[in-house]
Each structure stands twice: as structure tokens, then as C-alpha cells.
Amino acid sequence: MGFEFADRLKKLPPYLFVEIDKAKRKARAEDRDIIDLGIGDPDESTPKEVVEALYKAARDSKNHHYPLDQGNQGSSIFRERIARWYKERFQVSLDPEKEILPLLGSKEGISHMPFAFINPGDISLIPDPCYPPYKSGTIMAGGVQHLMPLIEENNFLPDLNKIDKAVLEKAKIIYINYPNNPTSAICEKGFFEDVVIFAKKYNLIVASDAAYSEIAFEGYSPSSFLKVEGGKDQGVEFHSLSKTCNMTGWRIGFVCGNEKIIAGIAKVKSNIDSGVFNAIQMAGIAALDIADKHLERMNKVYQERRDALVDGLNKLGWVIKKPKATFYVWAKLPKKHKSSIEFAGLVLDKADIVITPGIGFGASGEGYVRFALTVSKARIQEAVERLRKIL
């Protein structure tokens, strides 16, 4: 007897971190002092106001039921709070009932969206390197990925003019993600405008992943895709409280924008999950209430860590520009190294530091590694010192 995985699982891209994960577990088992700059999970705890809001809401039995509100998924007061946040933060008006949908983390919505819009053989345009659910969501829905390389010479923006006409005829969705994971690149408003024109021309749905819209430095404030003219006609934007308010474990995010696209995602979700625990949505309201104050402090913390890492590595001969947003540093390998997996393996073996090989995010990520700024500045300085010794 043997059970076979369905074809859709077999088609998922190979998980390239297997060797690194194995080596990491081994190092931990040997009690080595590992500095983990691998995973993008904020090290600090969730703000206490958010935790208190959960306590309070969890005690209230009216929150113990299926989280449906007038037949819609998501509490209407959370949706209204999101609308107010969008208006204040981006000057974009949204209808809380039709243009906003809470999610079990934005990953959930990102990977479920193709089930609503992709038929077998349809194409999603996906940046490479990228956050992996763009690919896996498309593949599980029976779609085909077409990769758009993000390269340094083009400021890690996709070159829309290079996409084949035959591909565009079958394309349904284009994913964009700025500020970007893993490259930490940002985009100007002009890029969003180009994407709207392009998407209109080829009748594409734009999925703008704004998970890092609030993690930015030195006065830079990332904008919203929905703010550009025609944005809402053409797409949706995914937000997450995971990075914004140190809430990765809570599983809460939201998607905003085009009514028809939101309705499609809601229909898929109503057949798979039954929405976010109401008490967590109440905590989400508290998170948006304190976000400004929290981010002012957190972004200073990330900026100091960024400076410690980039200045430190540049002194060792690396050539890295300081990112304006996200808590990642995307670094080209030092000259004599070519393979990002080999390099990450070496750094783990010799210096007990975990970093992510760029190729794990897609072929165009080869030649780079990603450092996550999710450990203290002192540990980052220690990591730089260890790298100095081995390189």
C-alpha cells in the first residue's frame, strides 16, 4: 500500500532550504550559539495593548461564534477600522462592506486568490525572486507561473515590456510586492501607474502585496497601489498585521480594493475557512489604533540594526546599499563566491549564522543572500564580527 500525493502537490516548486534547515537543526542540537538571520519573524513581542484587547474580547461570549457579520465574513467594526486606517494612511476611500475582507494572515488570501480567478492553464505573472505563495497558490489552482525576473540593473522592478504577447493572452493575475521581500527594493508611484495601464490593456488582476508598507526608514512612507488612478478598477492590495505589529503568530491580515475580486476571494474562503476569530479581529482594531506609535519605535530599532549590518559588511568589502524599507538586507555575495546555497552553508558551518540563500526565492535570486534584521543590534554586531573572522 502506498498513498500518492496529488499532482498539484508534486508540481509545487522544490523546497530549497532543506539542507540549510537540516544543518540548522543539527547545529541547535549540538548547542551551538546560533545567530538566526534567516526567518522574517519579528523578534519583539506583540504590543501589550493588542494582547489586552484579545483578553477582553475573548471573555465576551458574543465573540465565541462563527465570525459572520450580516452574512459577510469579518466583523463590520474591524472592516470599518481598516477603512479609516486606509483613509488616514493612504488617503484612499474604501467601502467597508464590499471592498475590505479580513484574512487569516495575508498569506491565506494571497494563496487562495487564484482559486477564484485561475482556470487550468491560465497564467499568473510572478516576480522572481519572490515570496513563495504567489507560485504555490497559482499551481494549486491548476495555473501556470510565468516568472518576471527582478534584477539589480532594473532596480528589482519587473520589465513588463519583456513579457511575451502569447503569455499575456493567457495571463489573469500579476503579483507585485513593494516594499519587496526578499530584495528590500521599493518602487515609485510611476511604477504603480505603469502596472495599472498594463493590467488594463491585458485585462489582468493586480495583486499588490503590501506586507511591508509600514516598515520604512528615514521618513520614507511607502504608497498604496490603490492610490493611483484606476488602481481600484484593476486590483486589490494585501496587508498584514504580522510585520506591522509583531503579530505573525496571530494570523490576521486583510485584503482591500476591487469589489468583484474581493467577492471572489470571499467566496473561496466561505467554502474553506469560516473567517478570523472575532476576538482576534478586536485585537486587530487595537493594533491599528496603536500602529503609529509602535512603528515609530520599531522602525528606529530596525534602522539601527540595518546600519550595524550594512556598515559592518561594507567594511569587510561587501557592496550593499542601505534599504529604505523592509527588515531585510539583500546582499550580493562577496566576489569569490557564486552559489548562495554553498555560501549560506559555509556561514552556518563556520560562523553559526543562519542566512537565507537567494536561490530559495527563485532562480533570479542566485548570487544573493537575505539577512533578516530580526535579532538585536548586539547580535548583529556579533554576526559581523564572526563573518570578519571567516571570510
Ligand X SMILES: *Cc1c(COP(=O)(O)O)cnc(C)c1O
Residues of this chain that interact with ligand X (CB under 6 A) are 40, 105-107, 131, 177, 181, 209, 211, 240, 242-243, 248, 253
CB of 131: closest distance to ligand X in angstroms? Answer: 4
CB of 238: closest distance to ligand X in angstroms? Answer: 7
Cβ atoms of residues 225 and 194 within 8 Å: no
CB of 182: closest distance to ligand X in angstroms? Answer: 8
CB of 175: closest distance to ligand X in angstroms? Answer: 10
Query: Can you name the residues that pair with 35 across neighbouring β-strands?
Result: 353
**In terms of CB distance, is 177 or 384 closer to ligand X?**
177
d(CA 170, CA 166): 7
d(CA 239, CA 210): 5
**In terms of CB distance, is 168 or 251 closer to ligand X?**
251
CB of 333: closest distance to ligand X in angstroms? Answer: 22
Q: How many CA atoms lie within 13 A of 178 on its CB side?
A: 24
**In terms of CB distance, is 131 or 191 closer to ligand X?**
131
Alpha carbon dihedral 95, 99, 100, 101, in 10-degree steps, equals 140
CB of 285: closest distance to ligand X in angstroms? Answer: 17
Q: To 5 degrees, how large is the angle CA 144–CA 146–CA 148?
A: 160
d(CA 116, CA 258): 14
**In terms of CB distance, is 248 or 339 closer to ligand X?**
248
Cα 170 off chain centre by? 26
CB of 130: closest distance to ligand X in angstroms? Answer: 8
Residue pointed to by grid coordinates 518602487: 187
**In terms of CB distance, is 183 or 318 closer to ligand X?**
183
Candidates 56, 45, 48; CA nearest to 279 is 56
d(CA 135, CA 111): 8
d(CA 313, CA 320): 8
CB of 105: closest distance to ligand X in angstroms? Answer: 3
**In terms of CB distance, is 90 or 178 closer to ligand X?**
178
**In terms of CB distance, is 248 or 381 closer to ligand X?**
248
d(CA 177, CA 349): 33
d(CA 317, CA 323): 18
- What are 63's three cell numbers? 465573540
**In terms of CB distance, is 118 or 215 closer to ligand X?**
215
